[in-house]
Amino acid sequence: MHNLDAAGHVRGESQYLDDIPVQRGTLHAVVYGSPLAHGKLRSLNLEAARRAPGVVRILTAADIPGENQIGGIVPDEELLAGSHVHFQGMPVALVLAETEPQARAAVKLIEADIEPLPIITDPREAAAQDELIVPPRTFRLGDPAATWDACAHIIEGVAENGGQEHLYIETQGAYAYPSEGGGVRVHSSTQGPTAVQRHTARVLGVGMHKVEVDVVRLGGGFGGKEDQATTWGALAALGAFVVKKPVKLVLSRHDDLRMTGKRHPYSSDFKLGLSADLKLLAYEVTFYQNAGAAADLSPAVLERTLFHATNTYFIPNVRATAYSCRTNLPPNTAFRGFGGPQGMFVIESAIAKAAEQLGVPAWEIQRRNLYQDGQEFPYGQRLADCHAGLSWQTAEQKFKLEQWQAEVDAFNQQSAVKKRGLAVMPICFGISFTKTAMNQARALVHIYTDGSVGISTGAVEMGQGVNTKMVQVAARTLGINPNRVRLETTNTTRVANTSPTAASATADLNGKAVEMACRALRVRLMRHAAEELKLEYEGLEIYDEQVLAAGKPAETDWEKLVSTAYWKRVSLTENAHYATPDLWFDQTQEKGNPFAYHVYGTALVQATVDAVRGTYEIDAVRLVHDFGQSFTPGIDRGQIEGGLVQGLGWMTMEELIYNQEGRLLTNALSTYKVPDLYSVPAVVDVEFLETPGHPNAILRAKAVGEPPLMYGLGGYFAIRNAVRAFRPSVFPAFSAPITPEKVLMSLYAAPAAEPAPVHQAAT
């Protein structure tokens, strides 16, 4: 079964927030954002803006009837700036006008008198000044300090990664109406309808039951709408609540780029100890996370960095410490991988540096240290059903790693200006929200009297195909054709207290709830069939596409069964609750069993660098991925391809630049480069690893959303290897993205202290 949304997307019929018909009397809102990154808000001059054509009302912090607070993990974020501004673009006022252009024009007339305060943009500087979002955290295994003496090689260094703009195609937005009895109804482009509901209620000073949030689908989220859709949902709701008219607020691309947070940049120190036979013995790492001006999800992102600090390698002695540093940038937030990629970049850099100093390919070190069953993660979980070795060996054999490396070396021998590099990128990603309590979901299933089925869950469709998966689960469990099943919008009045669509776990959590509800209905109907009707019900066999393709007759028995059950007053509705079993984590010890299971895979990445121009191409990515028992292979393959390209973009070309004043310079697509059709590798080979899947995964199909992004790290190391093939004396900084400029600078602007003899083997 292909993606349910495919035809609608291609025909332009799929409904997004902006396709909702606008009611008469709707006001359009535009946000006035702080022009300074840090300061005391002395006064706001709204006079000229108030008199501008079409302007109906301008709202500020003083108009908030409830609490001016939208912080989740830490209550440190105002919806509209009260006494201080903390980043450029921080919402200060909301202009409501009859048209959007009128609101936009009026925003330009607003003047703020702000007393400037010192601006910090660098996480290490923030840490030095004790500007921390939460106290630092340390994960420990064994004792690295006691191990250094036993190491044959010790490698130290610094690794840095940049941020990443989500660039969902649909910008942030919401459309809110006043509802009867002093409530609001909010259409929101959010991954977290409950978060929008909770914070809107808090801001308005009403109960959550007076706020209804509805989501049809998103034009992409990628984590950018997990927490940060709340601001715009709550602002639109505030407008509707105060003015008693519908209010639509949709960010322009420019406002979206400058006002919203991104993937966290990190700056990290590492120290890695190896034995003479290249076993990893000890690892010490310190992460400085650039959190931006408020906590947002940063503490949770920080935690996942620690969980993935050793990627897929067993290191018996580990000490990993992480600081979440407050700076005057827009609060950084969730982005596919959620801190995991940042942690993994550092250990991969440490291994690459060791390999370069020892004169061996990095993959010699990588493959000698892969996790195995029975070992322990630094956070205490025991490895079980580990496919790190299997995915590596399958990739190594299928893609002939050593032969491929020999071909790359041979190419480099005969090519003067273009050089190739090969890198292997194995991944291990934990599936579950690291906050145990969030691993719960509910589903509401109605069977209508004609046999059609309507399903509501907490899952938000954002292009990842979760609706198609839910339909499949329901159809298989009920034993009916999927075309009888419809996924309803995600609505807080039908399914409450939802976790956001995130952590790659949405299909697992909501799918399990759908499966439970459908199974209960099926059992009830079968009992009814047996007791009342003595009905032969073929459709109750597990739904099989092949049977259907062979022209199986319509499932008339299903319709009869449902209809007679109704007349016998059998309930055709079921509500189920699922909570992932056996999860726990003790933050005082930093030990536990936080993940339902792990996803593994191994990618081989080849790049070609033009050593005169600094330009490069990622030629080929061949990977083996652990899907478990995929039941939507087309969708899952699409997730791998999309995640991979997004990861490659982060590692190679996507470069966010803020100046000293905290102003985003790369604030348009002319200056911020994302992968396009031409930068997608010519060869992307995705092989399905044959594994039984996991019982905690829906229908044994493992979560697939985030893990493939981390294959993109291989792009950095492949380019680096190509650069060093041209000039082995060069050791570029471990600084991602490795843009063409950085390639060129590393080749020709090497530090004077290290004159670079050409073509001399590294020692």
Catalytic sites, residue numbers: 706
Footprint (CB under 6 A) of ligand LUZ, residues 206-245: none
Q: 300 is in the binding site of which of ligand MTE, ligand LUZ, ligand MOS, none (Cβ under 5 to 8 A by kind)?
A: ligand LUZ
Distance from C-alpha of 286 to C-alpha of 270, rounded to nearest angstrom: 7
Strands 280-292 and 317-326: parallel
One symbol per residue from 338 to 377: x for binding ligand LUZ (CB under 6 A), - otherwise; what is it?
x---------------------------------------
CB of 338 to ligand LUZ, least distance (A): 3
Q: How many residues touch ligand LUZ (CB under 6 A)? A: 10
Q: Is 321 in the site for ligand MTE (CB under 6 A)?
A: no
Q: In the chain, what is the greatest distance between 2 CA atoms, to the nearest angstrom?
A: 89
| 502, 562, 599, 743: which one binds ligand MTE (CB under 6 A) | 502
The DSSP code sequence of 46-65 is -HHHHHSTTEEEEE-GGG-S
Tell me what percent of the chain is helix, strand and coil, each rounded to the nearest 5.
35, 25, 40
Footprint (CB under 6 A) of ligand MTE, residues 631-660: 639, 642
Q: Where are the alpha helices (DSSP H) in 244-327?
A: 253-259, 298-307
Q: Is 597 in the site for ligand LUZ (CB under 6 A)?
A: no
CB of 501 to ligand MTE, least distance (A): 5
Q: Is 170 in the site for ligand MTE (CB under 6 A)?
A: no
Q: 462 is in the binding site of which of ligand MOS, ligand LUZ, ligand MTE, none (Cβ under 5 to 8 A by kind)?
A: ligand MTE
Among residues 229 and 466, whose Cβ is nearest to ligand MTE? 466
CB of 34 to ligand MTE, least distance (A): 28
Q: How many residues touch ligand MTE (CB under 6 A)? A: 21
CB of 707 to ligand MTE, least distance (A): 10
Distance from C-alpha of 714 to C-alpha of 618, rounded to nearest angstrom: 10
Selection from 598, 624, 628, 602 nearest residue 691 by Cα:
628
Q: 307 is in the binding site of which of ligand MTE, ligand MOS, ligand LUZ, none (Cβ under 5 to 8 A by kind)?
A: none
Among residues 72 and 89, whose Cβ is nearest to ligand LUZ? 72
| 334, 623, 635, 710: which one binds ligand LUZ (CB under 6 A) | 334
The DSSP code sequence of 121-138 is --HHHHHHTT-BSS--EE
> Which residues touch 88 (CB under 8 Å, ≥6 apart)?
33, 34, 35, 36, 37, 258, 328, 330, 661, 662, 663, 664
Among residues 4 and 297, whose Cβ is nearest to ligand LUZ? 297
251: phi then psi, degrees, rounded to nearest 5: -70, 140
The DSSP code sequence of 723-734 is HHHH-TT----E
Cβ burial of 522 (10 Å; 0-12, 13-18, 19+) is middle
Strands 247-250 and 27-33: parallel
Provide the CB-side half-sphere exposure for 320 (13 A, CA). Answer: 27
Among residues 85 and 502, whose Cβ is nearest to ligand LUZ? 502
CB of 514 to ligand MTE, least distance (A): 13
Q: Is 133 in the site for ligand LUZ (CB under 6 A)?
A: no
Q: Which residues bind ligand MOS (CB under 6 A)?
A: 191, 221, 223, 226, 334-336, 338, 502-503, 706
Among residues 558 and 585, whose Cβ is nearest to ligand LUZ? 585
Q: Is 502 in the site for ligand LUZ (CB under 6 A)?
A: yes
425: phi then psi, degrees, rounded to nearest 5: -130, 95
Q: Which residues, listed in sequence order, are joined to residue 487 by a DSSP beta bridge? A: 455
Footprint (CB under 6 A) of ligand LUZ, residues 408-447: 433-435
Q: 466 is in the binding site of which of ligand LUZ, ligand MTE, ligand MOS, none (Cβ under 5 to 8 A by kind)?
A: ligand MTE
Distance from C-alpha of 587 to C-alpha of 134, rounded to nearest angstrom: 13
CA 364 and chain centroid, separation: 31
Position of minimal CB gap to ligand MOS: 223
Selection from 119, 56, 51, 60 nearest residue 86 by Cα:
119
CB of 502 to ligand LUZ, least distance (A): 4
Q: 433 is in the binding site of which of ligand MOS, ligand LUZ, ligand MTE, none (Cβ under 5 to 8 A by kind)?
A: ligand LUZ
Position of minimal CB gap to ligand LUZ: 338
Distance from C-alpha of 336 to C-alpha of 680, rounded to nearest angstrom: 19
Among residues 499 and 632, whose Cβ is nearest to ligand LUZ? 499
CB of 501 to ligand LUZ, least distance (A): 9
In this structure, are residues 691 and 387 in contact, taking their beta carbons and an 8 Å threshold?
yes
**Sheet hosting strand 418-431, strand order edge to edge:** 418-431, 597-610, 616-625, 683-688
Q: Is 464 in the site for ligand MTE (CB under 6 A)?
A: yes
239 three-class SS: helix
Among residues 490 and 746, whose Cβ is nearest to ligand MOS? 490
| 211, 455, 706, 719: which one binds ligand MTE (CB under 6 A) | 706
Among residues 555 and 706, whose Cβ is nearest to ligand MOS? 706
Q: 304 is in the binding site of which of ligand MTE, ligand MOS, ligand LUZ, none (Cβ under 5 to 8 A by kind)?
A: ligand LUZ
Residue 709 corresponds to which tokens in the numbers above? Answer: 């992004």
Distance from C-alpha of 643 to C-alpha of 638, rounded to nearest angstrom: 8
Q: Is 504 in the site for ligand MTE (CB under 6 A)?
A: yes
Q: 639 is in the binding site of which of ligand LUZ, ligand MOS, ligand MTE, none (Cβ under 5 to 8 A by kind)?
A: ligand MTE
Among residues 34 and 439, whose Cβ is nearest to ligand MOS? 439
| 466, 487, 540, 713: which one binds ligand MTE (CB under 6 A) | 466
One symbol per residue from 199 to 228: x for binding ligand MTE (CB under 6 A), - otherwise; what is it?
---------------------xxxx-----
In this chain, which stretch among 276-284, 380-388, 596-604, 701-709 interacts with ligand MTE, using CB under 6 A?
Answer: 701-709
Q: Is 300 in the site for ligand LUZ (CB under 6 A)?
A: yes
Among residues 460 and 656, whose Cβ is nearest to ligand MTE? 460
Q: Is 286 in the site for ligand LUZ (CB under 6 A)?
A: no
CB of 191 to ligand MOS, least distance (A): 6
Distance from C-alpha of 96 to C-alpha of 741, rounded to nearest angstrom: 44
Distance from C-alpha of 275 to C-alpha of 294, rounded to nearest angstrom: 42
Among residues 139 and 433, whose Cβ is nearest to ligand LUZ? 433
> Which residues touch 549 (CB under 8 Å, ≥6 apart)?
none
Q: 434 is in the binding site of which of ligand MOS, ligand MTE, ligand LUZ, none (Cβ under 5 to 8 A by kind)?
A: ligand LUZ
Distance from C-alpha of 24 to C-alpha of 71, rounded to nearest angstrom: 33
Q: Is 163 in the site for ligand MTE (CB under 6 A)?
A: no
Distance from C-alpha of 299 to C-alpha of 134, rounded to nearest angstrom: 7
In this structure, are residues 651 and 341 in contact, taking their beta carbons and an 8 Å threshold?
no
602: phi then psi, degrees, rounded to nearest 5: -140, 130
Distance from C-alpha of 694 to C-alpha of 432, rounded to nearest angstrom: 13
Q: Is 336 in the site for ligand MTE (CB under 6 A)?
A: yes
For 550, which DSSP code? T
Distance from C-alpha of 46 to C-alpha of 92, rounded to nearest angstrom: 11
Distance from C-alpha of 203 to C-alpha of 525, rounded to nearest angstrom: 45
| 80, 278, 480, 503: which one binds ligand LUZ (CB under 6 A) | 503
Question: Which residue type is seen at 53?
Answer: P
CB of 168 to ligand LUZ, least distance (A): 15
Distance from C-alpha of 607 to C-alpha of 738, rounded to nearest angstrom: 12
Residues that bind ligand LUZ (CB under 6 A): 297, 300, 304, 334, 338, 433-435, 502-503
Residues that bind ligand MTE (CB under 6 A): 220-223, 336, 462-464, 466, 501-507, 639, 642, 703, 705-706
